[in-house]
Amino acid sequence: MDRTVIVVKPDGVSRGLTDTILARFENDGFRITSKKNLRFTLEQAKEFYSPHVGKDFFQELISFITSGPVVAVVIEGRNALERARQIIGTTDPASAPKGTIRGDYGSGITTNVVHASDSPESFRHEWKIIFG
Ligand code: CMP
């Protein structure tokens, strides 16, 4: 059993998709072990996305993720990191298969409705910012 952080982004929350998105994980056998409603501060957002500092999309990403409330959860399950990333689909919804969360609901590479940790290090980093 291991864990990963999932964040329903401002577009997912404002479109009323939170329960639908979280159900995708629960229906696949994941258990939600922590849940937090929050709005990222600028400082939290910059720290959360610090691996992307200097990239041309960084500013847009920070202004989007701080634009409204998000719902963050920790989910627990076998092979959590890899399975969760399969469930959410590729970063760009345009190339994410139907049946994945981003393929079904994402509207753009920034507005891609959901985030999942991509490594054990990013899980620890993200967990500390949101739940630590
Ligand atoms: P996420 O999984 O939250 O991690 C970083 C985010 O940067 C990613 O989802 C996208 O929403 C966003 N992003 C915006 N533009 C790009 C890009 N060109 N390449 C990768 N990620 C991008």
Q: What is the pLDDT along the chain (132 residues), one digit of tens a residue?
A: 799 999 999 999 999 999 999 999 999 999 999 999 999 999 999 999 999 999 999 999 999 999 999 999 999 999 999 999 999 999 999 999 999 999 999 999 999 999 999 999 999 999 999 999
Residue 1 has what pLDDT?
75
DSSP string, 28-45: TT-EEEEEEEE---HHHH
Alpha helix (H) residue ranges in 1-132: 10-14, 18-26, 42-48, 58-65, 80-88, 101-105, 120-131
Between CA 39 and CA 44 the distance in angstroms is 9
Domain count, the chain: 1
> What distance in angstroms lies between residue 33's CA and the mean position of ligand 1's atoms?
26
Which residue minimizes the CA distance to atom 4 of ligand 1? 115
Pocket flag, ligand 1, residue 90 (CB < 6 Å) = no
Atom of ligand 1 nearest to the CA of 65: 3
- Residue 85 makes CB contacts below 8 A (sequence gap 6+) with 116, 118
Tell me the CATH number at 95: 3.30.70.141
Residue 83 sits in which domain range?
A: 2-130
- Residue 44 makes CB contacts below 8 A (sequence gap 6+) with 129, 130
Between CA 5 and CA 1 the distance in angstroms is 14
Active site members: 115
Between CA 78 and CA 25 the distance in angstroms is 12
Q: What is the three-class DSSP state of 98? A: strand
Which residue minimizes the CA distance to atom 2 of ligand 1? 115
